[in-house]
Amino acid sequence: MKKVALIFSSVALGILSSCSDSFLDVQPKAALSSTILQNKTGVNALLTGAYALLDGWATAEGAYRSYNVGADNWVYGSVASDDAYKGTNAGDQPPISLIEQGNIAADNIYFRGKWRGMYDGIARTNDVLQNLEKATDFTDEERAQVIAEARFLRGNYHFELKKMFNMVPYIDEKTYDPNNLESTKLPNTTDIYPKIEEDLKAAYDVLPTSQSQPGRPTKWAAGAMLSKVYLFQKKYAEAKTILEAIVASGKYRLVDKYHDNFQASTNNNAESIFEVQYSVNDGAAGGENGNIGSTLNYPYSGGAFTTCCGFFQPSVNLANAFKTDANGLPLLDTFNDTDIPNDQGIESTDPNFTPYKGNLDPRLDWTVGRRGIPFLDWGVHPGKAYIRDQTYGGPYSPKKHVSHKSDPSFASNNRLNANNFRMIRYAQVLLWLAEIEVEIGSLEKARAYVNQIRARAAKPEGFVKNADGTPAANYVIKEYTTPWTDQAFARKAVRFEERLELGMEGNRRFDLVRWGIAAETMNAYYTVESTKRSYLKGSQFVKGKHEYFPIPIQEILNSQVGGKATLTQNNGY
C-alpha cells in the first residue's frame, strides 16, 4: 500500500447571531474534530498514516530525521556492526561516527530519533483502534481486518524499540489518551515481549493469506514477524511451527536471481513476505514517498545518478567474508586474515589496477560496489571517483538499495527511488529454520536449508556480468556436501550464511546480540579494523552494556510525573 500524504483543514461551520455570545464557540483553525475520523474514510486515512512510519518519514518540520528512523536500520544494525562504516568523511553526521566507534551516549540525537519515530507509529496505530471503536460503517470482516493490520504495525514498532533499547514501555489504545499528556508516561520496568507476541498473534490469527494491495501484511507476514520475536527469545518450538507452516503454504519461493530482491522492477516478488513500499512521481512533495531512509547512502560522485553523499560504505571485513575456498565454501575462521586487494588509490581504468582473481561468493558483487565491477547498469565502478574519502571510509560503495538506471523509478531527487525495502523475505524464513534445527540437534535438516540458499546463489544467470556477458569475477560457490555432525560447526556455518545472504540489510548487530556473541565479534573486529581506520582505535564493545542502546536522555527527562522520571536508564549508561 503506497503511502499517501494526508492534509486536513478546518471548515467554517456557520455564522452566529451578533445578539449572542455564542460567536465565541468557534472551532480552532487547523484543529481536527475526532468525530470526523470516526468512519471508514477517516479510519483508513489514519491506518495509512500508521503505515507511513515504516519508512521513517516523520515530519517536514524536522522533529526527527527520516534516515535515522526507518525500517532498514542502516545505522543501528549495520554501521553499528562489523558490516559497514559510516562512510563519507569524518566531519559529516558525527552522531553516526560516535555510534560506529562504540562511543554510545544517551544524548545522541539518533537514538532519540528512533525512539520518537517508533512511538509516533505506535500512537498512530492506537488512533486507528480508538476511532475504529466508534465508527459504525464497517462490516465485522472489515473491522477485524483493520484491527489486525493495526496490531501488526503496533507489534512491529514495539519490537523495533525492544531490539534497540530492551526495557521500554508498551502503549496500547487503552493506555493512550490523546487528551492526557501524562497517559503515556509509563515506567519501563516490565518486559514487553508478551505484549508484542499478543499483537502479532492477533494479527496472525485474523489476516488473510493474501492481500489485494501489496504492502498490507498477510497472515504469513504476521507469522514471520512473530517467529522472529520468538527467535529473539530462543523460543524455538513456537517459531518452528509457524515457519514450517509458511514453507508448507507454497506461497513463497527463492527467486532465481538473488538480486531480484533488490531491484525496483521486481518489487513484491515471490520471495517477498513483507516489504516497505516506496513510490516516486506520485505527487508527494519532494518525492518523500521514495526510499528516503537511504537518501544519504549513495556513491559520492556517481555521475548521472547522484552527486551525494557517500554514506554507508561496506566494511573491508564484510567484503572479505565473501571469499571462498577451493570447494566453494566460506572461510569461516580465516576469511579476514588477508584483504581482497581492492584498496589501491587508483581507478579501475588505471593499467596498474589488478582485479582480484581469487574465489568469491557471487553475492559479494550484489552487496558491495567495488572498483572494476559493474555497478548495476550504471557502468563499471571506477574506484575513488565514487568515494568521498577512501582513507576514512574505505574503497567500497553500498549497492542493494540503489535502483537500476533501467528502472523508471526515480524522483526529481534521483537519490530517491521506488526500490522497496524487503523487511522479511523467504530466504530469512529458511535460515531461521536452519538456526532452529541446529539448536534442537537436527543438523542435517539445517544443512539442507542452508544449501537451498547457496544453490540459488550458485546459479550463473544470477552472477554480475561484464558487458560481454562473462562473469565479472571468479565466482565459485557450492553447497555443503559433507554431513554436519558437529553442532558448533553447524551453528557457525548457519550464522555465517545469514551474514552473507543479508549483508547491509540492517540485521547484523541485532543478530550478534541475540546470538550472544556481540562482544567477542565486535571486539575482534575493532582490533583489526583499528589498523585500517584510525578513528576506530580504542573502540570497544562493553559486554553487559552495549547489547542495547541507551534510553534517550531527553525522553527520561520528559517522562517525569510529579517531578520524578518514570523511565529508568539502561545498565551502564
- Quote the pLDDT of residue 19: 39
Average pLDDT on 480-487 reads 98
Confidence of residue 279 (pLDDT cuts 50, 70, 90): confident
Confidence of residue 411 (pLDDT cuts 50, 70, 90): low
DSSP H or E segment with residue 423: strand 421-425
CA pseudo-torsion sign 251, 257, 263, 266 = negative
CA pseudo-torsion sign 83, 88, 89, 94 = negative
Confidence of residue 383 (pLDDT cuts 50, 70, 90): confident
| Closest-CA residue to 295 (of 422, 398, 416) | 416
Which CATH number does 38-206+547-572 carry? 1.25.40.390
Angle, CA of 119, 200 and 438, to the nearest 5°: 115
> CA–CA separation, 208 vs 302, rounded Å?
43
Burial 422-458 (b: 16+ CB within 10 A, else e): bbbbbbbbbbbbbbbbbbeebbebbbbbbbbbbebbb
- Quote the pLDDT of residue 282: 77
> CA–CA separation, 275 vs 411, rounded Å?
20
Average pLDDT on 196-222 reads 97
> CA–CA separation, 490 vs 476, rounded Å?
21
> CA–CA separation, 386 vs 311, rounded Å?
11
Average pLDDT on 370-391 reads 91
pLDDT tens sequence across 45-58:
999 999 989 987 65
Share of the chain above pLDDT 90, in %: 77
Average pLDDT on 151-160 reads 98
> CA–CA separation, 533 vs 50, rounded Å?
40
- Which of 170-184, 303-317, 520-534 shows the lowest per-residue confidence on average (mean pLDDT)? 303-317
* Mean pLDDT computed over every residue of the chain: 90
- Asked whether the predicted pLDDT for residue 483 surpasses 90, the reply is yes
Give the 3-state secondary structure of residue 475.
strand
CA pseudo-torsion sign 253, 255, 256, 257 = negative
Query: Residue 398's beta-bridge partner residues?
Result: 368
> CA–CA separation, 69 vs 46, rounded Å?
20
- Quote the pLDDT of residue 542: 97
Q: How far is CA 119 from CA 369, 397, 573, in A?
A: 35, 32, 22
> CA–CA separation, 348 vs 196, rounded Å?
50
CA pseudo-torsion sign 421, 279, 116, 216 = negative
pLDDT tens sequence across 10-38:
222 232 233 344 433 445 444 556 688 99
Alpha helices by DSSP H, listed for 207-335, are 219-232, 236-248, 316-320
Average pLDDT on 227-232 reads 98
| Closest-CA residue to 288 (of 1, 50, 51, 58) | 58
DSSP H or E segment with residue 281: none
| Closest-CA residue to 70 (of 423, 552, 490) | 423
> CA–CA separation, 64 vs 57, rounded Å?
9
Average pLDDT on 526-537 reads 96
Helix 236-248 vs helix 426-440: crossing angle, to nearest 10: 140
- Quote the pLDDT of residue 7: 29
Q: Is the peptide bond before 308 cis (omega within 30 degrees of 0)?
A: no
The 10 Å Cβ neighbour count of residue 216 is: 20
Average pLDDT on 82-106 reads 96
- Asked whether the predicted pLDDT for residue 64 surpasses 60, the reply is no
Enter the C-alpha cell of residue 320.
Answer: 572479505
- Quote the pLDDT of residue 32: 57
> CA–CA separation, 542 vs 137, rounded Å?
55
- Quote the pLDDT of residue 341: 86
- Which of 151-155, 305-309, 394-398 shows the lowest per-residue confidence on average (mean pLDDT)? 305-309
Enter the C-alpha cell of residue 345.
Answer: 588509490
